[in-house]
């Protein structure tokens, strides 16, 4: 119970979880933007280590053989083969009835009576272990007072049962005793753990700080930690909260070693075994990482050095997962892109020094908006790349992905998150899913664009189910192209879908906005010329528009100029002298006597 398990939680905050392991407490911390303070490790006498003596099996006969030490058949390959989170096949659905039964058992007078009641619904050894595990994880709370005041603390199974409290030593002792009564071979193990108060890259010395168990099932040893399975302690270390964690039941040894290092290396149940140095250097992945279906993260070291102001992280996972990140509490200084099986993140810290980087994830099917912390790094930044300062409006993740595909944006012309343009113009195309209406706008930190002008620097062109977004930047710099969509049949608002970063270094760039269009400007209309919404004064200007199904088109300046139809386009010229505005108007069919405005151009002042 000395150290607390460090299981971060939802994005709300930095979270550390104390696990009552052996002598470890599982505590979770969620203060916003604060660094968890460290608690002194308290050391508790462990008492003599001995193998359990003769045990009673359920029929009442004596079984006197001592548990065999772990050997070849118990060992699992290291590193993890990505096959399973458990060390044996477990169907959690088959446990549903048993779990529900075990939670309801309420016997406090003797450990024997408790075990007898629990075993009524358990047939196999696995079911017996499961019933004992579920009962302990949901009925024994971490003793925060005892943790601070060990003289008052008893780890005897009957005391743990009757007070309903303990530290990791008591959890593991009660588990061992209950298994013994049930006729299951079980060992209490002790060692070092990466619990609360653990600092990345720290070394471990002195007495062990945690206790857990090994159980013998189907001819092999398996590992579990009921302290860390039960819940968490708050950041002030005064209040325990039950929060069940399935991960620590029969955990695959190649994953268990991530934060549990036994005194006796045989109990790693690994081939090859890891040295304490390996354990100290290895990246800590908390249980969220694996429960979320994540497989690997790169780099594998906890500390990342930037190269020319940049650091990169990637995560591989089994199925579509949503990610987000925080560098020193904000997501402004990076580019995160979602991949089909993971994500890629490029970080550009804008200050030198050490920065905490947290990666959060949630399954794509999860409706609730809770991202859980799955990874933590320290980014050491020696130099800053000022050119990679991103606009505040840039939203993570950036660029198209499986997620945008699900929203109906298929086959993007630009699969990468950043679009570079030298002349300030670019064009992005997609194939659109059925019944989708699109809205796009342009944002920049050093631009005083009004909401209307943000949209007027982008022109939509539809050809069948293709959409082209033609973009003319008002000046050089970094811009965010935000893309929104809704169902055409849906009268509601547009939903934000994704964004690109558009970068232009050419300071000569100064494109005017496109002409303003009105509601009668239909989706399949297209402007070939003039594209600029600002026309030169006292000039003849050539018009060429594609407007299928229209009876008549006029350009209204000081005078009115009809356009003529040829090869599918409406063409003609108009003179801009003597006027400040030019309108394009249409007769939608020959019977209409009135014209509708579809476009408006400004004319430069003299």
Write out the catalytic residue numbers: 168, 210, 225
SS3 per-residue string spanning 68-135: CCCCHHHCEECCCCCCCCECCCCCHHHHHHHHHHHHHCCCCCCHHHHHHHHHHHCCCHHHHHHHHHHH
- What's the rounded Cα separation, in Å, for the pair 141 and 231? 8
Cα-based torsion angle of the residue sequence 344, 348, 349, 352 in order, rounded to the nearest 10 degrees: 120
Contact 379, 349 (CB under 8 A): yes
Going 106 to 111 to 114 to 118, the CA torsion angle's sign is positive
Interacting residues of 69 by C-beta distance below 8 A, sequence separation 6+: 266
The answer to whether residues 415 and 398 touch, using CB atoms and an 8 Å cutoff, is no
How many Å apart are CA 268 and CA 287, to the nearest integer? 18
Rg of the chain's alpha carbons, rounded to an integer?
A: 33
Is residue 396 within 8 A of residue 331, CB to CB? The reply is yes
- Give the pairing of strands 334-339 and 342-347: antiparallel
Reading the block at residue 194, the tokens are 């990466």
Residue with tokens 């550009």: 348
Question: From its phi and psi, is residue 65 left (phi > 0), alpha (psi between -120 and 50) or beta?
Answer: beta
Between CA 454 and CA 481 the distance in angstroms is 9
DSSP-assigned states of every residue in 540-553: EEEEEEE-TT-SEE
Tell me how far apart the alpha carbons of residues 103 and 100 are, in angstroms, rounded to a whole number.
5
**Whose CA is closest to 289, among 318, 267, 312?**
318
Distance CA 241, CA 359 (A): 24
Write out the DSSP string of 178-225. HHHHTT--EEEEEEEE-EET--TT----SS--EEEEEEEETTEEEEE-
CA angle 348, 402, 359 (to 5 degrees): 35
DSSP 37: P
Question: 321 is written with which tokens?
Answer: 């997962």
**Cα–Cα distance between 400 and 413 in angstroms, integer?**
10
Q: Is the peptide bond before 530 cis (omega within 30 degrees of 0)?
A: yes
For residues 33 and 13, give the distance between their C-alpha atoms in angstroms, rounded to a whole number: 6
362: exposed, middle or buried (Cβ count in 10 Å: 0-12, 13-18, 19+): buried
Task: Give the CB-side neighbour count of residue 225, counting CA atoms within 13 A.
Answer: 41
């Amino acid at each position: 119970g000395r150290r607390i398990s460090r299981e971060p939680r939802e994005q709300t905050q930095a979270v550390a979880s104390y696990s009552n392991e052996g002598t470890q407490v599982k505590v979770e911390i969620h203060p916003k933007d604060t660094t968890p303070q460290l608690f002194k490790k308290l050391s508790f006498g462990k008492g003599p280590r001995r193998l359990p003596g003769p045990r009673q099996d359920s029929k009442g006969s004596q079984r006197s053989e001592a548990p065999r030490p772990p050997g070849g058949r118990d060992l699992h390959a290291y590193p993890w083969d990505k096959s399973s989170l458990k060390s044996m096949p477990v169907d959690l659905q088959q446990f549903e009835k048993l779990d529900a039964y075990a939670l309801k058992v309420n016997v406090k007078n003797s450990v024997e009576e408790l075990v007898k009641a629990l075993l009524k619904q358990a047939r196999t050894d696995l079911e017996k272990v499961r019933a004992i595990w579920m009962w302990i994880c949901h009925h024994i709370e971490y003793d925060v007072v005892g943790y601070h005041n060990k003289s008052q603390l008893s780890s005897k199974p009957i005391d743990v049962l009757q007070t309903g409290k303990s530290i990791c030593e008591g959890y593991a002792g009660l588990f061992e005793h209950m298994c013994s009564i049930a006729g299951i071979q079980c060992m209490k193990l002790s060692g070092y753990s990466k619990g609360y108060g653990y600092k990345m890259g720290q070394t471990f010395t002195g007495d062990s700080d945690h206790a857990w168990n090994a159980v013998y099932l189907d001819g092999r040893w398996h590992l579990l930690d009921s302290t860390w399975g039960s819940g968490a302690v708050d950041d002030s270390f005064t209040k325990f909260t039950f929060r069940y964690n399935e991960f620590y039941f029969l955990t695959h040894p190649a994953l268990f070693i991530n934060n549990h290092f036994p005194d006796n290396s045989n109990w790693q149940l690994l081939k090859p075994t890891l040295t304490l140095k390996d354990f100290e250097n290895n990246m800590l992945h908390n249980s969220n990482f694996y429960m979320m279906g994540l497989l690997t993260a790169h780099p594998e070291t906890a500390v990342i050095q930037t190269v020319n102001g940049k650091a990169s992280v990637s995560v591989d996972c089994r199925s579509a997962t949503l990610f987000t990140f925080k560098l020193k509490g904000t997501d402004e200084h990076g580019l995160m892109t979602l991949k089909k099986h993971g994500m890629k993140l490029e970080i550009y810290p804008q200050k030198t020094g050490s920065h905490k980087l947290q990666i959060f994830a949630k399954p794509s099917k999860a409706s609730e908006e809770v991202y859980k912390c799955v990874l933590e790094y320290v980014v050491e930044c020696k130099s800053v790349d000022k050119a990679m300062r991103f606009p505040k409006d840039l939203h993570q993740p950036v660029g198209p992905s499986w997620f945008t595909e699900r929203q109906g944006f298929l086959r993007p012309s630009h699969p990468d998150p950043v679009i570079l343009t030298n002349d300030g113009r670019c064009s992005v195309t997609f194939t659109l899913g059925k019944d989708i209406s699109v809205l796009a706008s342009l944002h920049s930190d050093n631009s005083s664009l009004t909401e209307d002008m943000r949209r007027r620097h982008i022109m939509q062109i539809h050809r069948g189910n293709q959409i082209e977004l033609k973009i003319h930047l008002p000046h050089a710099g970094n811009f965010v192209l935000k893309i929104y969509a809704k169902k055409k049949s849906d009268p509601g608002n547009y939903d934000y879908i994704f964004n690109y970063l558009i970068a232009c270094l050419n300071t000569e760039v100064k494109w005017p906005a496109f002409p303003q269009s009105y509601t009668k400007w239909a989706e399949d209309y297209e402007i070939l010329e003039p594209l600029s919404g600002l026309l030169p004064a006292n000039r003849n200007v050539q018009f060429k528009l594609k407007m299928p199904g229209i009876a008549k088109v006029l350009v209204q300046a000081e005078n009115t100029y009809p356009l003529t139809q040829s090869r599918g386009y409406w063409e003609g010229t108009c003179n801009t002298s003597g006027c400040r505005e030019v309108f394009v108007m249409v007769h939608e069919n020959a019977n209409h006597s009135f014209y509708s405005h579809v476009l408006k151009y400004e004319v430069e002042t003299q």
